[in-house]
A and B are shown apart, each in its own frame.
Chain A
Amino acid sequence: MAYVIGAACVDVMDRSCMEECPVDCIYEGARKLYIHPVECIDCGACAEVCPEQAISADRAADPDHRLDNRRFFEEPLPGREEPVGSPGGSAKIGPVGADTAMIKAG
């Protein structure tokens, strides 16, 4: 289980959630943030601080964004060779600087 960031984050990226996340599992794309579906421990701290209320539990999330959050990590992003994978903390890799095809096109 994991939390999912939805459309309200696009081009806002407040990043309060990144400060709250106890396991540093929120990664920064170019236009949007993404929660790692495996590294997330489902604590919900991010959802409570998001000023855009963009974050919801996966069972309540928009299915397209639920899939898209997963794709950000599991499939190579547009123009990239390798998927982001599971780095074990976004601070370790910094801003990824790219988005999924769905967000890039949107």
Chain B
Amino acid sequence: MRRAAVLTVTVMSTLAEISMPTDDSPPIEVDILIVGAGPAGLYGAYYAGFRGLRVAVMDVLPQPGGQITAMYPEKPIYDIAGLPSVRGRDLVDNLLAQAAPYGPEYLLGHQAVDLSYDDDRPVVRSVQGATVRAGAVIVTGGIGTFTPRPLPAARSFDGRGLVYFVRRLADHTDQDVVIVGGGDSAFDWADSLAPLARSVTIVHRRDRFRAHAATVERVREAGVEILVNSAVTAAAGSDGLETVQVTHLPDGTTRELKAQTLIAALGFTADLGPLLGWGLELRSRRITVGTDMATNLPRVYAAGDITDYPGKVRLIAVGFGEVATAVNNAATVIDPEAELFPGHSTDGPAERK
């Protein structure tokens, strides 16, 4: 049995240590498996911990936060109860911190692919080889599986220099790094890599950026070259990546850049993916649930944007409530002696780990 490797999430200001089980890791036994590490899933991890349940959280992306992290980490969010304004990534960090005392196990970079039952208990496998045996599963899958947009010009260097995420900053020490994209991820990584890489260049198709203006300014000041109205149109190298060709789109002129790493930060596409094969009852590609957030499958619940019922409103605030409902109802199925009502958090929560 190999030891689980540790992955550090670099772009979150809270550095979460993430365990990455490998193909031959033993099954993970938990009370509740949460599929989807967006805001609803992370709050569910807190809630399950608060109820004294062992919990694991699986997500296809290597970073927690779901849509918030993938699409709007810098945007202020104004409709979370009790927080008049909270920046997206701060909300994610706070949700991680809220769950942290209960030690949830994070299986990030794992795509939940298969649901089966063993002795009436759900078993979920990931594409990457993790197996989780759970008392109940809560699907907080939002809009589904995120897939990074490809960069066809460099496809042949996938895994040999072309990456979609920065997993460890130190891997890029003294490298020439080219980052494609104009959003927050592109600029966050440029910001983090500039001090230790030999060079960092951003290539963006337009001359306007979706990234936060202050980050763009900081990256510029750190000496990162920003090539606008440009695209990576070819990549070359004998073994690993060595150079990329950048074309200035308005006039078609090209230049070669040295690059051992090419980061494609072109955003994501999402679709329900493997969940469609689980036998869940769907309506308009969303999971139908009852008032207890139960799906049509035994011991499988759903919460957050992925659910559907008459009157559904898709907001983070609603997802928080739904996942609390899902956890508390699941708790009574896992242990028929358990009470549906969890007690108040002010009364003294379950023992923290």
Contact = CB atoms under 8 A, between A and B. Distances in A.
B325 to A, nearest CB: 22
Contacts of B71: 22, 43, 45
A1 B269 CA distance: 19
B285 A22 contact: no
Contact of B285 (A20, A44, A49, A88): A88
Contact of A23 (B72, B143, B314): B143
Interface residues of B, number: 18
Contacts of A75: none
Contact of A86 (B67, B267, B284): B284
Given A38-B284, A43-B67, A45-B71, A23 B267 contact: no
Interface in B94-145: 143
A86 B284 CA distance: 8
Contacts of A43: 67, 71-72
Contact of A89 (B206, B208, B268, B271): B271
Given A20-B267, A22-B267, A22-B269, A41 B67 contact: yes
13 contacts: A16-B206, A22-B70, A22-B143, A22-B267, A22-B269, A23-B270, A23-B271, A41-B305, A43-B71, A44-B72, A45-B71, A45-B210, A48-B210
A24 interface: yes
Contacts of B271: 23, 88-89
A48 B204 CA distance: 14
B210 A24 contact: no
Interface of B: 67, 70-72, 143, 146, 206, 208, 210, 267-271, 284-285, 305, 314
Contacts of A49: 206, 208, 210
A48 B269 CA distance: 17
A41 to B, nearest CB: 6
Contacts of A86: 284
Contact of B269 (A24, A38, A44, A88): A24
A50 B273 CA distance: 29
A32 to B, nearest CB: 22
Interface string A54-88: 00000000000000000000000000000000101
Interface in A7-63: 16, 20, 22-24, 38, 41, 43-45, 48-49
A27 B169 CA distance: 39
Contacts of A48: 208, 210
Nearest to B268: A22
Contacts of B285: 88
A23 B286 CA distance: 14
A52 B314 CA distance: 29
Nearest to A88: B285
B280 to A, nearest CB: 16
B143 A41 contact: yes
Nearest to B70: A22
A45 B181 CA distance: 13
Given A22-B268, A49-B208, A86-B284, 16 more contacts: A16-B206, A20-B267, A22-B267, A23-B143, A23-B270, A23-B271, A24-B269, A41-B67, A41-B143, A41-B305, A43-B72, A44-B72, A45-B210, A49-B206, A88-B271, A89-B271
